[in-house]
């Protein structure tokens, strides 16, 4: 595995490997860019990596994604991510996560970790015993708690900006929105949209989730396949990644795609296909940054009101990206990436001067 060519090509700062014989810890921390502040990103803990290269790839890809997300969210953090290759045999989970916390501590605050796929609030509490460079603690422990309602609020603000710019509307009353996945983010999103007079369609593989949305919010429940072909203003993917793919694209009859899921485009070319079909895509990492903005607030001292105000500004960011994309005849996700690279280049040049 040759790391330096990748690190050079995509401008990674450092990759750290940690091992602890006592607990069986094997962890990788990738720091992509810390120009704007310490790398902030969750710890993914997975037992199914076939190879070390797979785990490194994940850490690298996710860390770079965090640089882009934090930069566009205007928070003073960079991109970092950790991956733990969990032992396949039984292990002492509290001890392993505490050992990981100590490993993070050796980076002296260049990396700040939090929960991610495969880690729980309990795991985060164990990490906290080894380092103070942890955010996303439960509210009862002085942390910012569940990020999902903030992510949902950010998505609503993004949809409001989209509605204003592309549909010329200053409220969402009567807008038609379909939501794929009414879980931790999708459900509060549905509730906030319902409060704004939006007509909702929902689909989820969990019937309990859709039942609640129908009973409490009057949402129309359809199958995931039916949902894709609805003639709605906005389709909001809020389940797994890759919702926009070769199979779903031909079915779509929405005017725009704007939801919380990470990596909504299965491949970059799917963004181009959306654009060619006249469907506006609001880049996922821009519109779903509310949870990150909220957790980042913990570093300077958690204040829920401040968090809400910052998340609310996702409206301005989305609006500016849509505006620039239209002016340049370009795609919003291309414009978003370019803004990030421009901001980083400018900040690096200023630092070097
Ligand atoms: P969740 O697991 O609580 O909700 C996902 C929902 O999607 C569940 O109800 C699940 O049953 C449903 N689902 C799964 N597969 C499906 C399928 N094939 N078809 C239909 N429904 C399906 O997760 P969440 O925290 O709400 O996150 C949703 C998405 O948003 C994820 O992609 C996540 O990475 C992303 N995201 C979440 C946050 C956050 O704050 N939680 C922040 C940024 C991005």
| Ligand 1 atom 41, closest CA | 148
Q: Say how many C-beta atoms besides its own lie within 10 A of residue 35's C-beta.
A: 18
Give the separation between CA 282 and CA 57, rounded to whole angstroms.
Answer: 26
Whose tokens are 């409490």? That residue is 216
**Environment class of 258 (CB within 10 Å of its CB; exposed 0-12, middle 13-18, buried 19+):** buried
d(CA 187, ligand 1 centre) in Å: 10
Which overall architecture, per CATH, does domain 3-66+78-141 show? 3-Layer(aba) Sandwich (3.40)
pLDDT digit string, tens, across residues 138-179: 888 888 988 999 999 999 999 999 999 999 999 999 999 999
Contact 238 CB / ligand 1 (< 6 Å): yes
Spatial contact of 30 and 12, defined as CB atoms under 8 Å apart: yes
pLDDT digit string, tens, across residues 15-73: 999 999 999 999 999 999 999 999 999 999 999 898 999 999 999 999 999 999 999 99
* Residue 191 backbone class (left: φ over 0; alpha: ψ -120 to 50; beta: rest): alpha
Atom of ligand 1 nearest to the CA of 284: 44
81 catalytic per annotation: yes
Residue 1, pLDDT > 80, answer: no
User: What are the sequence ranges of the domains in the chain?
Assistant: 3-66+78-141, 148-288+318-338
pLDDT digit string, tens, across residues 113-124: 999 989 988 899
| Ligand 1 atom 17, closest CA | 205
Tokens of 163: 């509605």
Classify domain 148-288+318-338 at the CATH class level: alpha beta
Question: Which pLDDT belongs to residue 316?
Answer: 98
Contact 178 CB / ligand 1 (< 6 Å): no
Question: Which pLDDT belongs to residue 100?
Answer: 98
| Ligand 1 atom 14, closest CA | 239
Q: Facing residues of 44 across strands? A: 83
Average of per-residue pLDDT across 261-290: 96
| Ligand 1 atom 25, closest CA | 184
Sign of CA dihedral 129, 134, 135, 136: negative
Q: What is the CA radius of gyration of the chain?
A: 20
Question: Which pLDDT belongs to residue 138?
Answer: 84
pLDDT digit string, tens, across residues 286-312: 999 999 999 999 998 899 999 999 999
Q: Considering the entire predicted model, what is its pTM?
A: 0.94
Atom of ligand 1 nearest to the CA of 147: 40
């Amino acid at each position: 595995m040759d790391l330096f060519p990748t690190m050079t090509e995509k401008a990674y700062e450092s990759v750290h490997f940690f091992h602890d014989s006592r607990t069986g810890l094997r962890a990788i921390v990738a720091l992509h860019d810390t120009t704007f502040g310490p790398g902030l990103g969750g710890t993914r803990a997975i037992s199914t990596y076939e190879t070390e290269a797979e785990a490194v790839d994940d850490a690298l890809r996710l860390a770079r994604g965090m640089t882009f997300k934090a930069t566009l969210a205007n928070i003073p953090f960079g991109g970092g991510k950790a991956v733990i290759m969990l032992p396949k045999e039984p292990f002492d989970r509290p001890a392993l996560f505490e050992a990981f916390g100590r490993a993070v501590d050796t980076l002296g605050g260049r990396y700040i970790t939090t929960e991610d796929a495969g880690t729980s609030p309990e795991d985060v509490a164990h990490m906290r015993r080894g380092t103070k460079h942890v955010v996303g603690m439960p509210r009862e422990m002085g942390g910012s708690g569940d990020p999902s309602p903030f992510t949902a609020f950010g998505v609503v603000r993004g949809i409001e900006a989209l509605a204003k710019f592309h549909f010329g509307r200053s409220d969402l009353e009567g807008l038609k929105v379909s939501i794929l996945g009414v879980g931790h983010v999708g459900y509060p999103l549905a509730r906030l949209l319902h409060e704004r007079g939006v007509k909702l369609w929902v689909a989820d593989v969990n019937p309990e989730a859709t039942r609640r949305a129908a009973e409490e919010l009057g949402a129309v429940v359809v199958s995931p396949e039916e949902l894709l072909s609805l003639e709605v203003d906005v389709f909001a993917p809020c389940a797994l990644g890759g919702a926009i793919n070769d199979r779903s694209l031909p079915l779509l009859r929405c005017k725009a795609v704007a939801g919380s899921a990470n990596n909504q485009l299965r491949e970059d070319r799917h963004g181009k296909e959306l654009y060619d079909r006249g469907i506006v895509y609001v880049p996922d990492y821009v519109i779903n940054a509310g949870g990150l903005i909220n957790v980042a607030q913990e570093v300077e001292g958690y204040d829920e009101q401040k968090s809400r105000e910052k998340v609310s500004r996702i409206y301005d960011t989305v609006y500016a990206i849509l505006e620039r994309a239209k002016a340049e005849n370009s795609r919003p996700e291309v414009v978003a990436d370019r803004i990030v690279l421009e901001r980083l280049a400018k900040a690096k040049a200023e630092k070097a001067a």
